[in-house]
Amino acid sequence: MSRPRFRIGSGYDFHVLVADRPLILGGVHIPYEKGLQGHSDADALLHAVADALLGAAGLSDIGSYFPDSDPRYKDISSLLLLEKVYRLVRGKGLVVGNVDITVIAEQPRIRPHVEAMKANIARVLYLSPDQIGIKATTMESRGVIGRGEGIAVHAVALLEVVE
């Protein structure tokens, strides 16, 4: 049986927006009246990317590598978690081809921060920014996200076998 040259993975994350937390998405601190709640910095965008990479590599999910019961990961930058995930992926003989991300948020506006987010992800995953897509949409004021109670992120990653 031949081994595939490419492997695709998908990731999804959702965090609740609360007062008195910084809003960190894609490793960027976005000025806003609320931030995402979580054990780490709650960067739902990077968590979705990490799960897409782990899924494509046939590995377990981000929660099993970085449990929220572990004090080492309290308020940790998710860029550091993504670095660790990248090393796991490389350890399986895989490199990242491209990553495509959709942020679903009613507020704040994501687009002004997309280039900075791409630069962060490109640095950690050894990509050029044009290997990363980041799009944003809303829920048109409907539902939990539409009421501004949280932010969801979908990500898809393509890995290439290089060993």
Q: Which residues of this protein are in contact with Mg ion, per CB under 5 A?
A: 13, 47
Secondary structure element (H or E) that encloses residue 25, with its range = strand 23-25
State the minimum distance, in angstroms, from the CB of residue 86 to Mg ion.
17
State the minimum distance, in angstroms, from the CB of residue 159 to Mg ion.
21
Contact of 101 with 132, CB cutoff 8 Å = yes
State the minimum distance, in angstroms, from the CB of residue 143 to Mg ion.
19
Provide the token pair at 123.
Answer: 């640095």
Kindly tell me the sign of the dihedral angle through the C-alpha atoms of 92, 27, 117, 129: negative
Instruction: State which residue, 38 or 57, has the beta carbon closest to Mg ion.
Output: 38
Instruction: State which residue, 65 or 129, has the beta carbon closest to Mg ion.
Output: 65
150: Cβ–Cβ under 8 A, 6 or more apart, which residues? 14, 15, 16, 17, 36, 144
Q: Which residue minimizes CB distance to Mg ion? A: 47
Phi, psi for 150 (deg, rounded to 5): -175, 175
Instruction: State which residue, 11 or 56, has the beta carbon closest to Mg ion.
Output: 11
State the minimum distance, in angstroms, from the CB of residue 154 to Mg ion.
13
Instruction: State which residue, 39 or 129, has the beta carbon closest to Mg ion.
Output: 39
Radius of gyration of the chain (CA): 15
State the minimum distance, in angstroms, from the CB of residue 145 to Mg ion.
15
Instruction: State which residue, 5 or 29, has the beta carbon closest to Mg ion.
Output: 29
Phi, psi for 104 (deg, rounded to 5): -115, 105
